Structure 1
Amino acid sequence: MSGRDFEGFTVVITGASTGLGRAIAVETARRGAGLVVVNYARSAEEAEETARLVEAEGAKAVLARGDVAQDEDCRKIAEAAASTGRIDALFNNAGVTKFAPNHADLDAVNAEDFLRLYAVNVVGAFQMVRAARSLLEAAPAPGAVVNTASIAGVVGNGSSVPYAASKGAMTTMTLSLARALAPRIRVNAICPGFIDTPWFGKAMDAERVDRLRAGAAAATPLKVASTAEDVAGAAVFLASPASRHVTGETLLVDAGLHLGGASLAMR
Protein backbone atom coordinates (compact mmCIF):
# COMPACT_ATOMS: atom_id res chain seq x y z
CA MET A 1 0.00 0.00 0.00
CA SER A 2 1.50 3.32 -1.09
CA GLY A 3 -0.70 5.44 1.14
CA ARG A 4 -1.31 9.05 0.15
CA ASP A 5 1.85 9.74 -1.82
CA PHE A 6 -0.08 11.78 -4.40
CA GLU A 7 -1.58 14.06 -1.75
CA GLY A 8 -2.66 17.32 -3.40
CA PHE A 9 -1.21 16.38 -6.81
CA THR A 10 -2.62 17.69 -10.07
CA VAL A 11 -2.73 14.85 -12.57
CA VAL A 12 -3.55 14.83 -16.30
CA ILE A 13 -4.34 11.58 -18.10
CA THR A 14 -4.98 11.39 -21.83
CA GLY A 15 -7.19 8.62 -23.12
CA ALA A 16 -8.74 8.18 -19.68
CA SER A 17 -12.33 7.25 -20.53
CA THR A 18 -11.74 3.48 -20.24
CA GLY A 19 -9.09 0.83 -19.72
CA LEU A 20 -5.63 1.71 -18.52
CA GLY A 21 -6.30 5.45 -18.50
CA ARG A 22 -9.29 5.00 -16.24
CA ALA A 23 -7.34 2.70 -13.92
CA ILE A 24 -4.54 5.28 -13.64
CA ALA A 25 -7.05 8.04 -12.90
CA VAL A 26 -8.70 6.06 -10.13
CA GLU A 27 -5.40 4.94 -8.61
CA THR A 28 -3.98 8.47 -8.46
CA ALA A 29 -7.20 9.67 -6.83
CA ARG A 30 -7.05 6.83 -4.33
CA ARG A 31 -3.52 7.91 -3.44
CA GLY A 32 -4.54 11.48 -2.69
CA ALA A 33 -4.53 13.46 -5.94
CA GLY A 34 -6.44 16.71 -5.58
CA LEU A 35 -7.33 17.30 -9.23
CA VAL A 36 -7.52 14.68 -11.97
CA VAL A 37 -8.00 15.86 -15.56
CA VAL A 38 -9.76 13.12 -17.54
CA ASN A 39 -9.14 13.50 -21.26
CA TYR A 40 -11.25 11.71 -23.83
CA ALA A 41 -11.69 12.02 -27.59
CA ARG A 42 -15.15 10.59 -28.22
CA SER A 43 -17.10 8.84 -25.48
CA ALA A 44 -18.42 11.43 -23.04
CA GLU A 45 -20.48 8.80 -21.23
CA GLU A 46 -17.47 6.61 -20.49
CA ALA A 47 -15.39 9.64 -19.47
CA GLU A 48 -18.15 10.72 -17.09
CA GLU A 49 -18.01 7.28 -15.48
CA THR A 50 -14.25 7.67 -15.00
CA ALA A 51 -14.89 11.07 -13.40
CA ARG A 52 -17.46 9.53 -11.07
CA LEU A 53 -15.01 6.85 -9.97
CA VAL A 54 -12.30 9.48 -9.41
CA GLU A 55 -14.58 11.63 -7.29
CA ALA A 56 -15.66 8.59 -5.29
CA GLU A 57 -12.01 8.37 -4.19
CA GLY A 58 -12.08 11.98 -2.99
CA ALA A 59 -10.43 13.85 -5.87
CA LYS A 60 -11.91 16.53 -8.07
CA ALA A 61 -12.34 15.36 -11.66
CA VAL A 62 -12.33 17.68 -14.67
CA LEU A 63 -13.37 16.39 -18.09
CA ALA A 64 -11.32 17.64 -21.04
CA ARG A 65 -12.45 16.56 -24.46
CA GLY A 66 -9.81 16.68 -27.16
CA ASP A 67 -7.84 14.79 -29.79
CA VAL A 68 -4.15 14.80 -28.86
CA ALA A 69 -3.26 14.71 -32.55
CA GLN A 70 -4.45 18.34 -32.61
CA ASP A 71 -2.06 20.78 -30.98
CA GLU A 72 -4.84 23.20 -30.08
CA ASP A 73 -6.67 20.42 -28.23
CA CYS A 74 -3.50 19.53 -26.32
CA ARG A 75 -3.24 23.12 -25.10
CA LYS A 76 -6.87 23.03 -23.97
CA ILE A 77 -6.29 19.77 -22.09
CA ALA A 78 -3.30 21.27 -20.27
CA GLU A 79 -5.29 24.43 -19.52
CA ALA A 80 -7.87 22.30 -17.70
CA ALA A 81 -5.25 21.92 -14.95
CA ALA A 82 -4.19 25.56 -14.89
CA SER A 83 -6.40 26.50 -11.92
CA THR A 84 -3.91 24.78 -9.59
CA GLY A 85 -0.88 26.42 -11.21
CA ARG A 86 0.91 23.09 -11.64
CA ILE A 87 0.86 19.62 -13.12
CA ASP A 88 2.59 17.03 -10.95
CA ALA A 89 2.04 14.12 -13.33
CA LEU A 90 1.13 13.84 -17.01
CA PHE A 91 0.22 10.39 -18.28
CA ASN A 92 0.39 10.22 -22.08
CA ASN A 93 -1.92 7.26 -22.40
CA ALA A 94 -4.04 8.06 -25.48
CA GLY A 95 -3.33 5.65 -28.30
CA VAL A 96 -4.80 4.12 -31.44
CA THR A 97 -3.95 1.17 -33.65
CA LYS A 98 -4.72 -0.54 -36.92
CA PHE A 99 -5.42 -4.24 -36.46
CA ALA A 100 -3.25 -6.07 -39.01
CA PRO A 101 -1.52 -8.74 -36.90
CA ASN A 102 0.07 -10.57 -39.86
CA HIS A 103 3.14 -8.37 -40.18
CA ALA A 104 4.16 -10.18 -43.37
CA ASP A 105 1.08 -8.85 -45.16
CA LEU A 106 2.54 -5.52 -46.22
CA ASP A 107 -0.61 -4.64 -48.14
CA ALA A 108 -2.72 -4.73 -44.98
CA VAL A 109 -1.51 -1.25 -44.01
CA ASN A 110 -0.72 1.93 -45.90
CA ALA A 111 0.89 5.31 -45.46
CA GLU A 112 -2.29 6.80 -44.06
CA ASP A 113 -2.30 4.17 -41.30
CA PHE A 114 1.26 5.10 -40.32
CA LEU A 115 0.46 8.80 -40.32
CA ARG A 116 -2.71 8.37 -38.25
CA LEU A 117 -1.00 6.19 -35.63
CA TYR A 118 2.04 8.45 -35.40
CA ALA A 119 -0.19 11.52 -35.13
CA VAL A 120 -1.79 10.20 -31.94
CA ASN A 121 0.77 7.84 -30.43
CA VAL A 122 3.91 9.93 -30.97
CA VAL A 123 3.11 13.48 -32.06
CA GLY A 124 0.19 13.65 -29.64
CA ALA A 125 2.38 12.72 -26.69
CA PHE A 126 5.00 15.27 -27.76
CA GLN A 127 2.38 17.99 -28.10
CA MET A 128 0.98 17.22 -24.66
CA VAL A 129 4.41 17.54 -23.07
CA ARG A 130 4.96 20.83 -24.87
CA ALA A 131 1.55 22.15 -23.82
CA ALA A 132 2.04 21.09 -20.19
CA ARG A 133 5.72 21.99 -19.87
CA SER A 134 5.39 25.21 -17.85
CA LEU A 135 2.89 23.63 -15.45
CA LEU A 136 5.09 20.54 -15.04
CA GLU A 137 8.05 22.78 -14.26
CA ALA A 138 5.92 24.65 -11.71
CA ALA A 139 5.33 21.52 -9.62
CA PRO A 140 7.12 21.58 -6.22
CA ALA A 141 9.05 18.43 -7.11
CA PRO A 142 10.09 17.72 -10.69
CA GLY A 143 6.98 17.10 -12.78
CA ALA A 144 6.62 13.54 -14.04
CA VAL A 145 5.66 12.43 -17.54
CA VAL A 146 4.74 8.77 -18.04
CA ASN A 147 4.30 7.58 -21.62
CA THR A 148 2.28 4.46 -22.38
CA ALA A 149 4.37 2.69 -24.99
CA SER A 150 4.09 -1.08 -25.58
CA ILE A 151 6.08 -4.27 -25.60
CA ALA A 152 5.28 -4.18 -29.34
CA GLY A 153 7.71 -1.29 -29.66
CA VAL A 154 10.48 -3.32 -28.01
CA VAL A 155 10.16 -6.69 -29.73
CA GLY A 156 8.39 -5.64 -32.96
CA ASN A 157 5.15 -7.56 -32.61
CA GLY A 158 1.58 -6.62 -31.78
CA SER A 159 -1.49 -5.44 -33.63
CA SER A 160 0.32 -4.08 -36.69
CA VAL A 161 3.62 -2.85 -38.06
CA PRO A 162 2.62 0.84 -37.79
CA TYR A 163 1.59 0.32 -34.16
CA ALA A 164 4.88 -1.37 -33.21
CA ALA A 165 6.84 1.32 -35.05
CA SER A 166 4.94 4.13 -33.33
CA LYS A 167 5.53 2.65 -29.89
CA GLY A 168 9.21 2.18 -30.66
CA ALA A 169 9.34 5.85 -31.60
CA MET A 170 7.65 6.71 -28.32
CA THR A 171 10.34 4.97 -26.28
CA THR A 172 13.06 6.81 -28.20
CA MET A 173 11.23 10.10 -27.66
CA THR A 174 11.09 9.29 -23.94
CA LEU A 175 14.90 9.22 -23.88
CA SER A 176 15.19 12.46 -25.83
CA LEU A 177 12.74 14.34 -23.62
CA ALA A 178 14.16 12.93 -20.39
CA ARG A 179 17.53 14.35 -21.35
CA ALA A 180 16.21 17.65 -22.70
CA LEU A 181 13.75 18.50 -19.90
CA ALA A 182 15.84 17.59 -16.87
CA PRO A 183 16.18 18.62 -14.11
CA ARG A 184 12.65 20.06 -13.73
CA ILE A 185 10.76 17.27 -15.52
CA ARG A 186 11.23 13.49 -15.37
CA VAL A 187 10.15 11.42 -18.39
CA ASN A 188 9.65 7.66 -18.32
CA ALA A 189 7.64 5.04 -20.19
CA ILE A 190 5.86 1.80 -19.50
CA CYS A 191 5.64 -1.00 -22.04
CA PRO A 192 2.58 -3.15 -21.33
CA GLY A 193 1.92 -6.43 -23.05
CA PHE A 194 -1.64 -7.67 -23.44
CA ILE A 195 -4.12 -5.72 -21.31
CA ASP A 196 -7.61 -7.14 -20.94
CA THR A 197 -9.64 -4.02 -21.77
CA PRO A 198 -12.64 -3.22 -24.00
CA TRP A 199 -10.17 -2.00 -26.65
CA PHE A 200 -9.98 -5.43 -28.31
CA GLY A 201 -13.75 -5.84 -28.29
CA LYS A 202 -14.03 -2.89 -30.66
CA ALA A 203 -12.24 -4.87 -33.36
CA MET A 204 -13.07 -8.51 -32.55
CA ASP A 205 -16.05 -10.63 -31.57
CA ALA A 206 -16.29 -12.02 -28.03
CA GLU A 207 -15.12 -15.52 -29.00
CA ARG A 208 -11.97 -14.17 -30.62
CA VAL A 209 -11.26 -11.95 -27.62
CA ASP A 210 -11.59 -14.99 -25.34
CA ARG A 211 -9.05 -16.87 -27.46
CA LEU A 212 -6.73 -13.88 -27.42
CA ARG A 213 -7.00 -13.60 -23.63
CA ALA A 214 -6.26 -17.30 -23.15
CA GLY A 215 -3.36 -17.16 -25.59
CA ALA A 216 -1.89 -14.13 -23.85
CA ALA A 217 -1.99 -15.86 -20.49
CA ALA A 218 -0.42 -19.02 -21.91
CA ALA A 219 2.41 -17.02 -23.51
CA THR A 220 3.56 -15.30 -20.32
CA PRO A 221 5.82 -16.91 -17.71
CA LEU A 222 3.44 -15.64 -15.01
CA LYS A 223 0.51 -17.33 -16.83
CA VAL A 224 -1.80 -14.34 -16.47
CA ALA A 225 -3.66 -11.98 -18.75
CA SER A 226 -2.99 -8.56 -17.24
CA THR A 227 -5.84 -6.23 -16.37
CA ALA A 228 -5.70 -2.44 -16.55
CA GLU A 229 -5.35 -2.33 -12.76
CA ASP A 230 -2.37 -4.71 -12.91
CA VAL A 231 -0.52 -2.29 -15.18
CA ALA A 232 -1.70 1.00 -13.68
CA GLY A 233 0.38 0.50 -10.54
CA ALA A 234 3.60 0.53 -12.56
CA ALA A 235 2.60 3.70 -14.40
CA VAL A 236 1.66 5.43 -11.17
CA PHE A 237 4.94 4.34 -9.56
CA LEU A 238 6.87 6.18 -12.28
CA ALA A 239 4.98 9.38 -11.43
CA SER A 240 5.30 8.95 -7.67
CA PRO A 241 7.87 10.28 -5.20
CA ALA A 242 9.21 6.71 -4.94
CA SER A 243 10.68 7.10 -8.45
CA ARG A 244 12.03 10.61 -7.91
CA HIS A 245 15.50 9.54 -9.09
CA VAL A 246 14.23 7.68 -12.16
CA THR A 247 14.15 9.33 -15.58
CA GLY A 248 14.67 8.08 -19.12
CA GLU A 249 13.59 4.57 -18.12
CA THR A 250 11.40 2.13 -20.03
CA LEU A 251 9.65 -0.33 -17.74
CA LEU A 252 8.31 -3.56 -19.26
CA VAL A 253 5.01 -4.49 -17.61
CA ASP A 254 4.06 -7.56 -19.59
CA ALA A 255 3.95 -10.48 -17.12
CA GLY A 256 7.27 -11.62 -18.63
CA LEU A 257 6.01 -11.91 -22.21
CA HIS A 258 9.27 -10.48 -23.55
CA LEU A 259 11.22 -13.40 -22.10
CA GLY A 260 9.99 -15.60 -24.92
CA GLY A 261 10.41 -12.97 -27.60
CA ALA A 262 13.20 -11.22 -29.44
CA SER A 263 16.42 -10.16 -27.81
CA LEU A 264 16.20 -7.02 -25.72
CA ALA A 265 19.77 -6.02 -26.54
CA MET A 266 18.41 -2.94 -28.34
CA ARG A 267 17.34 -1.52 -24.98
Structure 2
Amino acid sequence: MSGRDFDGFTVVVTGASTGLGRAIAVETARRGASLVVVNFARSAEEAEETARQVEVLGAKAVLAQGDVADDADCRRIAQAAAASGRIDALFNNAGMTKFAPQHGDLDAVSAEDFLKLYSVNVVGAFQMVRAARSLLEAAPRPGAVVNTSSIAGVMGNGSSVPYAASKGAMTTMTLSLARALAPKIRVNAICPGFIDTPWFGKAMDEDRVARLRAGAAAATPLQVASTAEDVAGAAVFLASPASRHVTGETLLVDAGLHLSAATLSMR
Protein backbone atom coordinates (compact mmCIF):
# COMPACT_ATOMS: atom_id res chain seq x y z
CA MET A 1 0.00 0.00 0.00
CA SER A 2 1.05 3.59 -0.59
CA GLY A 3 -0.73 5.17 2.37
CA ARG A 4 -2.73 8.30 1.66
CA ASP A 5 -0.93 9.50 -1.46
CA PHE A 6 -4.25 10.53 -3.06
CA ASP A 7 -5.27 12.79 -0.17
CA GLY A 8 -7.63 15.48 -1.44
CA PHE A 9 -7.58 14.19 -5.02
CA THR A 10 -10.49 14.52 -7.41
CA VAL A 11 -10.68 11.43 -9.59
CA VAL A 12 -12.79 10.52 -12.63
CA VAL A 13 -13.14 6.85 -13.62
CA THR A 14 -15.02 5.93 -16.79
CA GLY A 15 -16.60 2.51 -17.01
CA ALA A 16 -16.56 2.27 -13.22
CA SER A 17 -19.68 0.22 -12.54
CA THR A 18 -17.87 -3.15 -12.39
CA GLY A 19 -14.56 -4.88 -12.88
CA LEU A 20 -11.35 -2.91 -13.28
CA GLY A 21 -13.12 0.46 -13.22
CA ARG A 22 -14.70 -0.32 -9.87
CA ALA A 23 -11.39 -1.59 -8.49
CA ILE A 24 -9.64 1.62 -9.57
CA ALA A 25 -12.33 3.82 -8.05
CA VAL A 26 -12.18 1.93 -4.75
CA GLU A 27 -8.38 1.95 -4.64
CA THR A 28 -8.20 5.73 -5.15
CA ALA A 29 -10.69 6.18 -2.29
CA ARG A 30 -8.63 3.85 -0.11
CA ARG A 31 -5.62 6.06 -0.79
CA GLY A 32 -7.42 9.22 0.29
CA ALA A 33 -9.22 10.67 -2.73
CA SER A 34 -11.87 13.12 -1.60
CA LEU A 35 -14.12 12.98 -4.71
CA VAL A 36 -14.53 10.06 -7.10
CA VAL A 37 -16.70 10.48 -10.20
CA VAL A 38 -18.14 7.06 -11.06
CA ASN A 39 -19.10 6.95 -14.71
CA PHE A 40 -21.38 4.26 -16.10
CA ALA A 41 -23.22 3.79 -19.37
CA ARG A 42 -26.15 1.53 -18.44
CA SER A 43 -26.11 -0.26 -15.09
CA ALA A 44 -27.11 2.25 -12.43
CA GLU A 45 -27.45 -0.49 -9.82
CA GLU A 46 -23.87 -1.69 -10.28
CA ALA A 47 -22.58 1.90 -10.35
CA GLU A 48 -24.38 2.58 -7.09
CA GLU A 49 -22.56 -0.37 -5.55
CA THR A 50 -19.24 1.11 -6.69
CA ALA A 51 -20.27 4.43 -5.14
CA ARG A 52 -21.18 2.68 -1.89
CA GLN A 53 -17.78 1.02 -1.71
CA VAL A 54 -16.05 4.35 -2.41
CA GLU A 55 -18.01 6.17 0.28
CA VAL A 56 -17.36 3.47 2.90
CA LEU A 57 -13.70 4.46 2.53
CA GLY A 58 -14.46 8.12 3.22
CA ALA A 59 -14.57 9.65 -0.25
CA LYS A 60 -17.54 11.37 -1.83
CA ALA A 61 -18.85 9.51 -4.87
CA VAL A 62 -20.69 11.23 -7.70
CA LEU A 63 -22.52 9.10 -10.26
CA ALA A 64 -22.24 10.31 -13.86
CA GLN A 65 -24.14 8.35 -16.47
CA GLY A 66 -22.94 8.73 -20.03
CA ASP A 67 -21.55 7.01 -23.10
CA VAL A 68 -17.99 8.18 -23.81
CA ALA A 69 -18.63 7.74 -27.54
CA ASP A 70 -20.88 10.82 -27.22
CA ASP A 71 -18.91 14.05 -26.88
CA ALA A 72 -21.72 15.83 -25.02
CA ASP A 73 -21.80 12.98 -22.49
CA CYS A 74 -18.03 13.28 -22.02
CA ARG A 75 -18.43 16.96 -21.19
CA ARG A 76 -21.13 16.15 -18.65
CA ILE A 77 -18.94 13.48 -17.04
CA ALA A 78 -16.05 15.92 -16.70
CA GLN A 79 -18.38 18.61 -15.33
CA ALA A 80 -19.36 16.26 -12.51
CA ALA A 81 -15.96 17.12 -11.03
CA ALA A 82 -16.19 20.87 -11.67
CA ALA A 83 -17.27 21.79 -8.12
CA SER A 84 -13.80 20.85 -6.86
CA GLY A 85 -12.19 23.06 -9.49
CA ARG A 86 -9.77 20.40 -10.67
CA ILE A 87 -9.27 16.80 -11.77
CA ASP A 88 -6.12 15.19 -10.41
CA ALA A 89 -6.58 11.89 -12.23
CA LEU A 90 -8.68 10.74 -15.18
CA PHE A 91 -8.86 7.00 -15.73
CA ASN A 92 -10.07 6.23 -19.26
CA ASN A 93 -11.28 2.74 -18.46
CA ALA A 94 -14.55 2.50 -20.42
CA GLY A 95 -14.25 -0.03 -23.21
CA MET A 96 -16.11 -2.58 -25.28
CA THR A 97 -15.40 -5.51 -27.54
CA LYS A 98 -16.85 -7.77 -30.18
CA PHE A 99 -16.20 -11.44 -29.39
CA ALA A 100 -14.77 -13.08 -32.52
CA PRO A 101 -11.70 -14.93 -31.22
CA GLN A 102 -11.00 -16.85 -34.44
CA HIS A 103 -9.06 -14.02 -36.06
CA GLY A 104 -8.73 -15.89 -39.33
CA ASP A 105 -12.48 -15.74 -39.86
CA LEU A 106 -12.55 -12.31 -41.47
CA ASP A 107 -16.28 -12.54 -42.03
CA ALA A 108 -16.89 -12.71 -38.27
CA VAL A 109 -16.48 -8.93 -37.99
CA SER A 110 -17.65 -5.98 -40.03
CA ALA A 111 -16.74 -2.38 -40.71
CA GLU A 112 -19.50 -1.45 -38.29
CA ASP A 113 -17.78 -3.49 -35.57
CA PHE A 114 -14.54 -1.57 -36.11
CA LEU A 115 -16.30 1.78 -36.01
CA LYS A 116 -18.30 0.92 -32.89
CA LEU A 117 -15.24 -0.27 -30.98
CA TYR A 118 -13.13 2.68 -32.07
CA SER A 119 -15.90 5.10 -31.07
CA VAL A 120 -15.64 3.93 -27.45
CA ASN A 121 -12.11 2.60 -27.04
CA VAL A 122 -10.26 5.35 -28.92
CA VAL A 123 -12.49 8.32 -29.71
CA GLY A 124 -14.20 8.09 -26.33
CA ALA A 125 -10.89 8.29 -24.47
CA PHE A 126 -9.81 11.24 -26.63
CA GLN A 127 -13.06 13.06 -25.99
CA MET A 128 -12.76 12.53 -22.25
CA VAL A 129 -9.26 14.03 -22.23
CA ARG A 130 -10.49 16.99 -24.24
CA ALA A 131 -13.49 17.50 -21.95
CA ALA A 132 -11.36 17.24 -18.80
CA ARG A 133 -8.33 19.17 -20.05
CA SER A 134 -8.91 22.48 -18.27
CA LEU A 135 -9.67 20.75 -14.97
CA LEU A 136 -6.62 18.49 -15.33
CA GLU A 137 -4.47 21.55 -15.97
CA ALA A 138 -5.93 23.18 -12.85
CA ALA A 139 -4.57 20.42 -10.58
CA PRO A 140 -1.78 21.62 -8.27
CA ARG A 141 0.64 19.09 -9.78
CA PRO A 142 0.40 17.85 -13.39
CA GLY A 143 -2.94 16.13 -13.88
CA ALA A 144 -2.67 12.45 -14.74
CA VAL A 145 -4.49 10.52 -17.46
CA VAL A 146 -4.31 6.73 -17.34
CA ASN A 147 -5.69 4.87 -20.34
CA THR A 148 -6.75 1.23 -20.08
CA SER A 149 -5.30 -0.34 -23.20
CA SER A 150 -4.66 -4.10 -23.47
CA ILE A 151 -1.99 -6.68 -24.14
CA ALA A 152 -4.15 -7.40 -27.21
CA GLY A 153 -2.96 -4.10 -28.63
CA VAL A 154 0.67 -5.20 -28.19
CA MET A 155 0.41 -8.84 -29.31
CA GLY A 156 -2.51 -8.65 -31.75
CA ASN A 157 -4.44 -11.32 -29.85
CA GLY A 158 -7.60 -11.12 -27.77
CA SER A 159 -11.33 -11.19 -28.28
CA SER A 160 -11.30 -9.93 -31.89
CA VAL A 161 -9.27 -8.14 -34.54
CA PRO A 162 -11.20 -4.87 -34.11
CA TYR A 163 -10.58 -4.96 -30.36
CA ALA A 164 -6.84 -5.54 -30.74
CA ALA A 165 -6.62 -2.82 -33.39
CA SER A 166 -8.51 -0.32 -31.22
CA LYS A 167 -6.24 -0.98 -28.24
CA GLY A 168 -3.16 -0.58 -30.42
CA ALA A 169 -4.55 2.78 -31.53
CA MET A 170 -5.18 3.74 -27.91
CA THR A 171 -1.57 3.01 -27.03
CA THR A 172 -0.32 5.17 -29.89
CA MET A 173 -2.73 7.94 -28.89
CA THR A 174 -1.26 7.80 -25.39
CA LEU A 175 2.13 8.75 -26.85
CA SER A 176 0.65 11.56 -28.95
CA LEU A 177 -1.26 13.08 -26.04
CA ALA A 178 1.66 12.72 -23.62
CA ARG A 179 3.77 14.78 -25.99
CA ALA A 180 1.06 17.32 -26.80
CA LEU A 181 -0.24 17.97 -23.29
CA ALA A 182 3.05 18.17 -21.38
CA PRO A 183 4.07 19.73 -19.07
CA LYS A 184 0.67 20.31 -17.45
CA ILE A 185 -0.77 16.81 -17.98
CA ARG A 186 0.86 13.38 -17.84
CA VAL A 187 -0.59 10.61 -20.03
CA ASN A 188 0.20 6.92 -19.57
CA ALA A 189 -1.44 3.58 -20.29
CA ILE A 190 -1.70 0.13 -18.78
CA CYS A 191 -1.99 -3.00 -20.88
CA PRO A 192 -3.70 -5.72 -18.84
CA GLY A 193 -3.80 -9.31 -19.95
CA PHE A 194 -6.62 -11.58 -18.81
CA ILE A 195 -8.65 -10.07 -15.95
CA ASP A 196 -11.13 -12.33 -14.19
CA THR A 197 -14.21 -10.08 -14.35
CA PRO A 198 -17.87 -10.45 -15.48
CA TRP A 199 -16.77 -9.16 -18.93
CA PHE A 200 -16.34 -12.69 -20.30
CA GLY A 201 -19.63 -13.91 -18.87
CA LYS A 202 -21.40 -11.69 -21.37
CA ALA A 203 -20.30 -13.94 -24.20
CA MET A 204 -19.55 -17.32 -22.61
CA ASP A 205 -21.19 -19.84 -20.33
CA GLU A 206 -19.71 -20.60 -16.92
CA ASP A 207 -17.80 -23.69 -18.09
CA ARG A 208 -16.06 -21.78 -20.89
CA VAL A 209 -15.15 -18.97 -18.52
CA ALA A 210 -13.66 -21.52 -16.11
CA ARG A 211 -11.58 -23.03 -18.92
CA LEU A 212 -10.47 -19.57 -19.98
CA ARG A 213 -9.45 -18.75 -16.40
CA ALA A 214 -7.42 -21.95 -16.13
CA GLY A 215 -5.87 -21.38 -19.54
CA ALA A 216 -4.90 -17.82 -18.59
CA ALA A 217 -3.06 -19.05 -15.52
CA ALA A 218 -1.31 -21.78 -17.50
CA ALA A 219 -0.23 -19.36 -20.24
CA THR A 220 1.49 -16.85 -17.94
CA PRO A 221 4.96 -17.22 -16.43
CA LEU A 222 3.54 -16.18 -13.04
CA GLN A 223 0.91 -18.95 -13.34
CA VAL A 224 -1.95 -16.73 -12.16
CA ALA A 225 -5.24 -15.42 -13.51
CA SER A 226 -5.29 -11.75 -12.55
CA THR A 227 -8.20 -10.13 -10.76
CA ALA A 228 -9.32 -6.52 -11.20
CA GLU A 229 -7.68 -5.65 -7.89
CA ASP A 230 -4.38 -7.13 -9.08
CA VAL A 231 -4.36 -4.72 -12.03
CA ALA A 232 -5.87 -1.64 -10.39
CA GLY A 233 -2.76 -0.96 -8.33
CA ALA A 234 -0.68 -0.46 -11.48
CA ALA A 235 -3.21 1.97 -12.93
CA VAL A 236 -3.38 3.93 -9.70
CA PHE A 237 0.43 4.03 -9.50
CA LEU A 238 0.55 5.83 -12.85
CA ALA A 239 -1.77 8.52 -11.46
CA SER A 240 0.06 8.85 -8.16
CA PRO A 241 2.80 11.24 -7.04
CA ALA A 242 5.20 8.26 -7.15
CA SER A 243 5.03 8.39 -10.97
CA ARG A 244 5.29 12.19 -11.24
CA HIS A 245 8.21 11.89 -13.68
CA VAL A 246 6.52 9.26 -15.87
CA THR A 247 4.64 10.19 -19.05
CA GLY A 248 4.15 8.52 -22.40
CA GLU A 249 4.67 5.10 -20.82
CA THR A 250 2.82 1.86 -21.50
CA LEU A 251 2.92 -0.58 -18.59
CA LEU A 252 2.18 -4.24 -19.33
CA VAL A 253 0.23 -5.75 -16.43
CA ASP A 254 -0.33 -9.25 -17.77
CA ALA A 255 1.40 -11.64 -15.32
CA GLY A 256 4.11 -12.01 -17.99
CA LEU A 257 1.83 -13.26 -20.79
CA HIS A 258 3.86 -11.28 -23.34
CA LEU A 259 6.91 -13.39 -22.41
CA SER A 260 5.21 -16.70 -23.08
CA ALA A 261 5.16 -18.71 -26.27
CA ALA A 262 1.70 -19.95 -25.26
CA THR A 263 -1.37 -18.10 -26.48
CA LEU A 264 -4.53 -17.59 -24.55
CA SER A 265 -7.37 -19.53 -26.14
CA MET A 266 -10.92 -18.20 -25.81
CA ARG A 267 -12.56 -21.35 -27.15
TM-score by length of 2: 0.98
Deviation digits for residues 156-209 of structure 1, max 9, x if unmatched? 000000000000000000000000000000000000000000010011100000
- The verdict on how the C-alpha distance between 1:157 and 1:261 changes in structure 2, with shifts beyond 3 A counting, is farther
SS of the aligned residue for 2:258 comes to helix
SS of the aligned residue for 2:96 comes to coil
Deviation digits for residues 204-244 of structure 1, max 9, x if unmatched? 10000000000000000000000000000000000000000
User: How far is the alpha carbon of 1:55 from its aligned partner?
Assistant: 0.1
SS of the aligned residue for 1:198 comes to coil
- Cα distance between partner residues in 2 of 1:15 and 1:184: 25
SS of the aligned residue for 1:255 comes to coil
Matched, 1:246 2:230: no
Match for residue 154 of structure 2? 154
SS of the aligned residue for 1:2 comes to coil
Report matched runs for 1:76-87 at 5 Å: 76-87=76-87
Matched, 1:15 2:15: yes
On the 8 A contact 1:149/1:167 being kept in 2, the answer is yes
- Cα distance between partner residues in 1 of 2:53 and 2:189: 25
- Cα distance between partner residues in 1 of 2:95 and 2:176: 20
- Cα distance between partner residues in 1 of 2:157 and 2:5: 35
SS of the aligned residue for 1:157 comes to coil
- Cα distance between partner residues in 1 of 2:242 and 2:208: 39
Matched, 1:223 2:223: yes
Matched, 1:49 2:54: no
On the 8 A contact 1:18/1:50 being kept in 2, the answer is yes
Match for residue 114 of structure 1? 114
SS of the aligned residue for 1:245 comes to coil
- Cα distance between partner residues in 1 of 2:111 and 2:57: 43
User: How far is the alpha carbon of 1:261 from its aligned partner?
Assistant: 5.0
Match for residue 210 of structure 1? 210
On the 8 A contact 1:155/1:261 being kept in 2, the answer is no
Report matched runs for 1:69-80 at 5 Å: 69-80=69-80
User: How far is the alpha carbon of 1:260 from its aligned partner?
Assistant: 1.6
- Cα distance between partner residues in 1 of 2:57 and 2:225: 26
**Aligned AA for 1:176?**
S
Structure 2: 5+ residue stretches without partners:
263-267
- Percent identity, aligned pairs only? 89
- Cα distance between partner residues in 2 of 1:204 and 1:140: 45
Runs of 4+ in 1 over 4 A off after TM superposition: none
Match for residue 177 of structure 1? 177
- Cα distance between partner residues in 1 of 2:29 and 2:141: 18
On the 8 A contact 1:16/1:40 being kept in 2, the answer is yes
User: How far is the alpha carbon of 1:62 from its aligned partner?
Assistant: 0.1
User: How far is the alpha carbon of 1:42 from its aligned partner?
Assistant: 0.2
SS of the aligned residue for 1:186 comes to strand
- Cα distance between partner residues in 1 of 2:144 and 2:29: 16
On the 8 A contact 1:26/1:54 being kept in 2, the answer is yes
Matched, 1:36 2:70: no
Deviation digits for residues 104-157 of structure 1, max 9, x if unmatched? 000000000000000000000000000000000000000000000000000100
Match for residue 233 of structure 2? 233
Matched, 1:194 2:220: no
The CA RMSD measured in Å over matched residues stands at 0.7
Match for residue 88 of structure 1? 88
- Cα distance between partner residues in 2 of 1:202 and 1:60: 30
- Cα distance between partner residues in 2 of 1:145 and 1:261: 32
